[in-house]
Amino acid sequence: MKFKNFLYIIFLTTYYSFSQENNSSINGDFINNFQSYNDDPLIGAIAPEEKVLNNAYLNVIYTKNNFSIGLRYESYLNALMDFDSEFQGNGIPYRYITYTADGLEVTAGNYYEQFGSGLILRTYEDKGLGIDNAMDGIKLRLNPISGVYLKSFIGRSRTYFNYSEGIIRGVDMEMDINEMLRIENNGSYIFGSSIVSRFQEDNNPKFNLPQNVAAFSNRLNIMHSGFNYYIEYAYKFNDPVGSFSLESNNYAPGKALLSNLSYSKKGIGINIESHWIDHMEFRSERAKEKEFIINYIPTISKQHTYTLLALYPASTQMEGEFGVQADIFYKLKKGSLLGGKYGTKINFNFSKINAIKNGTSFLNDSLNIRSPFLSYDNDKLYFTDFNIEINKKLDKKTKINFIVSNQKYNKDILEGKTPGEYGTIQSTIGVVDISYKIKKGHTIRIESQALRSKPDPNATKKGDGHWVMLLSEYTISPNWFFSIQDMYNFGNYDQTQRLHYINATFGYIIGSNRFEIGYGQKRAGIFCVGGVCKEVPASNGLNINISSSF
């Protein structure tokens, strides 16, 4: 169906619904990001020919009784420099119709889906990363009996304004044992099983490539008396890259095991998780680009929100890694010696990620590389992070958050550098965040961060050295906010790069509308969300963000 016909159907349906004054509604949101660019040789920022770039999105969802119709219009004229240049032009790449009745849900068009934790399938959108791998096809959800939930789909995944060559098919079943057997107690037992396959013709003259590639997973979630245990195992049949440029391919199967154990009660929470990954990247087409990935394995490290804590983020190595993480949350009681009048929250976090034995890599493919199950290489460290966070309310007006972290970051592996170029960088980071309520509706927040790094003595390059960052933010609730930030690379080993990155922002919020204007510099680096990363170029310029929901 052509987009204009789709729009025409929505218009007629909407008009008919309102004219009949029946049960229907329209909602959605609008986002527009403008960015100007200036040349800044000091930070390596190069302005594009257009000087001003723009990303815009409009979502519209119409619902009436059992029907839901939606679309998203996207405009890239041209796309912001943070985005791939393939995002270019205007169009409606996302549109769907959903019907729900008597335990059955049918969707035709575009949709997002996730099986289990995403080991073999997760389609989603993240504007910050420039990712949108929505499926286009048919999706069914069915609840045939109490406690049994079925999902199935067939489609192609989105890449920019086009779709991949591979046809993706999948089925998922989840059973809630307590609900099925009508058991009422303080526990819950949920079992799930999934299978996903891809069909793509073999047109490679060098290799005999499988046209059908399947992956399956099984999962179990047990909840009882404050404990929650989740385990999932996934297996992917041999899925060589199939690139014309490679002289060999890895035909080994992919495997993954994810485990999470948590316990919580009033005042304390403990979470221990691990995952083991080997050759588990699953793509909708035989290509290396991240835009074709249809599964998701989150990093097994804390997702820091403070700038310098996230300066060296861990990215999931889907070709092979073993990681563990432990989180302990504890609240010191009010009125105790250390808890004080308002109590004190403490969070201990530790994560460590290593290579696996015989870990596979696109840089060193052979015909059949297999890693012993659950093995790891203690001599090949990818990432560690040990941090302590203390959150304290000092009085009715003042709150303080203090964090100290020690990290090790294998820059060569995690950023795809030449082996021995940077090696493993060690850093110690401290953060002090103080918030003070001046009067009703008026709050000032001061944030101070510092990072001291130690380069790898065996590497040929030393990295960026030491950083410090200061931020001041003033909020007049519920409408206005102002902030200014200075990020200073005072310890760079190259004295010409001891630069300030200054950014100023102010904004206004009224109802469901938000307006923000900022000007400043952005350093080149790696930006990650949940272990998925992209390289961000340096920039200098004005940005205007407008968003609204209705």
**Is residue 95 scored above 70 in pLDDT?**
yes
pLDDT of residue 244: 42
The predicted-structure confidence for 286-315, as pLDDT tens digits, reads as follows 866 778 899 999 899 999 999 999 999 999
Please give the sequence-ordered ranges of beta strands (E in DSSP) within 311-376, or none if there are none.
320-332, 344-355
> Could you give phi then psi for residue 363, rounded to 5 degrees?
-80, -10
The predicted-structure confidence for 186-223, as pLDDT tens digits, reads as follows 789 999 999 999 999 987 777 778 899 999 999 999 99
∠ Cα 157 158 162 (to 5°): 125
CA distances, 251 to each of 281, 285, 366, 375 (Å) = 13, 16, 8, 19
Hey, is 16 helix, strand or coil? helix
- Mean pLDDT value across residues 212-241: 94
Provide long-range contacts, Cβ within 8 A and 24+ apart, for 122-129.
122/294, 122/295, 122/296, 123/157, 123/294, 124/296, 126/529, 126/532, 127/31, 127/55, 127/57, 128/527, 128/529, 129/527, 129/529, 129/532, 129/533, 129/534
The predicted-structure confidence for 466-476, as pLDDT tens digits, reads as follows 999 999 999 99
Task: Name residues whose C-beta falls within 8 Å of residue 27's C-beta, 6 or more positions apart in sequence.
Answer: 61, 549, 550
Q: In whole angstroms, what is the distance from residue 318 CA to residue 276 CA?
A: 10
The predicted-structure confidence for 409-449, as pLDDT tens digits, reads as follows 999 999 989 999 999 999 999 999 999 999 999 999 999 99
**Is residue 126 scored above 70 in pLDDT?**
yes
CA distances, 170 to each of 13, 174, 470 (Å) = 32, 14, 49
Q: What does pTM read for this prediction? A: 0.90
Ranking 43-57, 139-153, 202-216, 375-389 by mean pLDDT, the lowest is: 202-216
The predicted-structure confidence for 336-365, as pLDDT tens digits, reads as follows 878 888 999 999 999 999 999 876 544 444
**Is residue 21 scored above 80 in pLDDT?**
no
Mean pLDDT, all residues of the chain: 91
Tell me, rounded to whole angstroms, the distance of Cα 63 from its chain centroid: 29
pLDDT of residue 338: 80
pLDDT of residue 205: 75
CA distances, 498 to each of 265, 488, 527 (Å) = 48, 7, 21
Q: In whole angstroms, what is the distance from residue 281 CA to residue 319 CA?
A: 7
pLDDT of residue 167: 97
